[in-house]
């Protein structure tokens, strides 16, 4: 089989995710990252629908990318008008992209009930639109919207729609499971039934409404499709699109099919996190291949087996996709997490050594106090380094003060001031925030920015508080978990105290220290 073409629609379909709103600058950053990674096509948006996308296409006009081709997206012409009079098609031409991808109706239900035209006119719309764009010297991909639902309803008409695109010399016909409701066995069966009746290459565009977007895309490849459309991290309208992070990894590790350049596979995880960062959309820890927990092991039996043979509980080497193996610290895991973590720190720690026994005892004391390191891997590494005296703090706290004020207009005002010392130089900073922890975070990073400018590339993604002893009321200990993220990774830290500010401070300090430690290793 020939190489699988990866068509990324993060910037178009992904932008339809609830809660995501890309700026033009966001879209440019993601496009450049996708180009560096090596996808073949980047669907930049719909120039006929909004000014933002027009600006995006203008930014890439005449620009030669390393790997990717920018694609402009739109629809077939409207009913009963000429292609040259259709505003949408004219805007696609003005976008000046080498590739144009348009969608049209395959399902007779949509033709008669949604766009309210005749079945014959719909066929004309498909042919005319593809022909018009081909005459403008464009590479044209035709997305057959709702194709699988259409085929199940009226196979003869559904097939006629894509044959019209083929007759107009479309370069690819992409079969779309737009409602995301088709099963993999039906995807495969339908493609096998039609592929001998078409000569144009076929692609797949799957949505994830059944949680089967990836499975359907893989089934389509097995049936003969040579282009896969999707989004990074599976973002998209409703339940999202087929997740390219998983699809690319499956093609490479399980099917041994070429897609993106071989050298790019090891940056799959960092690319997924970068796009998560720009999207302001959290990458789930349990995401296949690229998630923080994808290769994490907690049970002592699992860990013991993994030490003996990596194949015991892992389906592939995490390093292939840029991830890494983690052994999670908990009462279930014994001393092995210390041994494995020490190895990652290039230290030898014997399981039976006094150091290992002391670490386990210290851990048990910490967990009795309320610390939970299985959910705070970054704090665990710092705990290890501090205990083994293999850690030098990046700064020293002289003191901080936090105040919160509720004003007459009902607004809450928080302010934090902090004094630190770095290399014997005293630093002072004061900042306002949405709350005391936000103010502390800003004051801390402002104070450290002179010495550690890379801190601007991280931010807090999540903040969780749990009361550990509800019988103690407001005097109870609380456990604070802070998740932080930069452009390549995420990490979690923990703090425990009766005072929520002190617990937050402890987790916050670990978060900053871990970022600095992580960057120092590069």
Domain ranges of the chain: 5-279, 296-369, 396-520
pLDDT at 256: 95
Q: How far apart are the first and last CA of the chain?
A: 39
- Identify the DSSP state of 334: T
pLDDT at 335: 58
Burial of 450: CB neighbours in 10 Å, binned 0-12, 13-18, 19+: exposed
pTM of the predicted model, to two decimals?
A: 0.74
427 vs 323: CA distance, rounded Å: 37
Q: Which of 222, 166, 212 is nearest to 189 (CA)?
A: 222
> Which pLDDT tens digits describe the chain residue by residue (522 residues)?
569 999 999 999 999 999 999 999 899 999 999 999 999 999 999 997 888 999 999 999 989 999 999 999 999 999 999 999 999 999 999 999 999 999 999 999 999 999 999 999 999 999 999 999 999 999 999 999 999 999 999 999 999 999 999 999 999 999 999 999 999 999 999 999 999 999 999 999 999 999 999 999 999 999 999 999 999 999 999 999 999 999 999 999 999 999 999 999 999 999 998 898 788 788 898 999 999 889 877 766 666 676 677 777 789 999 999 988 777 655 445 556 666 667 766 667 777 778 777 777 777 788 778 887 766 888 988 988 888 787 889 999 999 999 998 888 878 889 999 999 998 899 999 999 888 988 999 999 999 998 999 998 888 888 888 887 655 555 678 889 898 988 878 898 999 999 999 999 999 999 999 999 988 876
Instruction: Please give the CATH topology (third level) of the domain spanning 396-520.
Output: Double Stranded RNA Binding Domain (3.30.160)
Asked if residues 507 and 480 have their Cβ atoms less than 8 Å apart, the reply is yes
Superfamily of domain 5-279: Aldolase class I (3.20.20.70)
pLDDT at 334: 57
Structure token digits, residue 321:
């996709």
pLDDT at 395: 93
Asked if residues 508 and 492 have their Cβ atoms less than 8 Å apart, the reply is no
Q: Which of 220, 222, 205 is nearest to 145 (CA)?
A: 205
């Amino acid at each position: 089989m020939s190489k699988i073409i990866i068509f990324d629609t993060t910037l178009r379909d992904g932008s339809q995710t609830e809660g995501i709103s890309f700026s033009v600058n966001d879209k440019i950053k993601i496009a450049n990252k996708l180009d560096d990674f090596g996808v073949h096509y980047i669907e930049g948006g719909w120039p006929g629908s909004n000014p933002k996308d027009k600006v995006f296409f203008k930014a890439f006009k005449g620009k030669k990318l390393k790997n990717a081709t920018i694609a402009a997206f739109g629809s077939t012409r409207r009913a009963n008008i000429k292609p040259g009079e259709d505003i949408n098609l004219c805007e696609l031409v003005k976008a000046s992209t080498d590739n144009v991808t348009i969608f049209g109706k395959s399902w007779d239900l949509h033709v008669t009930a949604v766009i309210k035209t005749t079945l014959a006119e719909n066929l004309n719309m498909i042919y005319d639109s593809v022909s018009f764009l081909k005459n403008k010297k464009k590479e044209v991909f035709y997305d057959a919207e709702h194709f699988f639902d259409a085929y199940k309803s009226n196979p003869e008409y559904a097939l006629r729609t894509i044959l019209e695109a083929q007759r107009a010399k479309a370069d690819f016909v992409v079969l779309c499971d737009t409602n995301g409701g088709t099963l993999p066995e039906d995807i495969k069966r339908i493609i096998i039934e039609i592929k001998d009746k078409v000569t144009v290459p076929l692609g797949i565009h799957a949505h994830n409404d059944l949680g089967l977007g990836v499975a359907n895309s893989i089934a389509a490849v097995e049936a003969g499709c040579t282009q896969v459309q999707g989004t990074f991290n599976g973002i998209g309208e409703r339940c999202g699109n087929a997740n390219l992070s998983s699809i690319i990894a499956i093609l490479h590790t399980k099917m041994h099919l070429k897609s993106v350049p071989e050298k790019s596979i090891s940056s799959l995880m960092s690319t997924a996190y970068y796009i998560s960062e720009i999207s302001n959309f959290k990458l789930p820890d349990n995401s296949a291949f690229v998630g923080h927990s994808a290769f994490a092991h907690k049970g002592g039996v699992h860990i013991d087996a993994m030490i003996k043979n990596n194949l015991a509980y892992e389906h592939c080497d995490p390093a292939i996709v840029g991830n890494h193996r983690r052994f999670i610290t908990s009462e279930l895991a014994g001393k092995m997490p210390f041994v494995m973590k020490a190895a990652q720190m290039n230290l030898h720690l014997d399981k039976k050594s006094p150091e290992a026994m002391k670490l386990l005892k210290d851990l048990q004391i910490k967990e009795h106090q309320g610390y939970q390191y299985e959910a705070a891997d970054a704090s665990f590494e710092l705990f290890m380094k501090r205990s083994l005296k293999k850690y030098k703090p990046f700064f020293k706290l002289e003191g901080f003060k936090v105040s919160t004020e509720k004003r007459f207009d009902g607004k809450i005002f928080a302010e934090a001031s902090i004094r630190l010392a770095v290399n014997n130089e005293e630093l002072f900073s004061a900042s306002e925030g949405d709350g005391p922890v936000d103010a502390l975070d800003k004051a801390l990073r402002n104070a450290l920015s002179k010495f550690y400018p890379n801190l601007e590339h991280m931010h807090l993604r999540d903040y969780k508080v749990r009361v550990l002893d509800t019988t103690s009321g407001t005097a109870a200990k609380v456990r604070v978990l802070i998740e932080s993220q930069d452009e390549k990774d995420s990490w979690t830290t923990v703090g425990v105290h009766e005072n929520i500010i002190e617990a937050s401070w402890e987790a916050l300090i670990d978060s900053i220290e871990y970022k600095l430690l992580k960057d120092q290793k590069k």
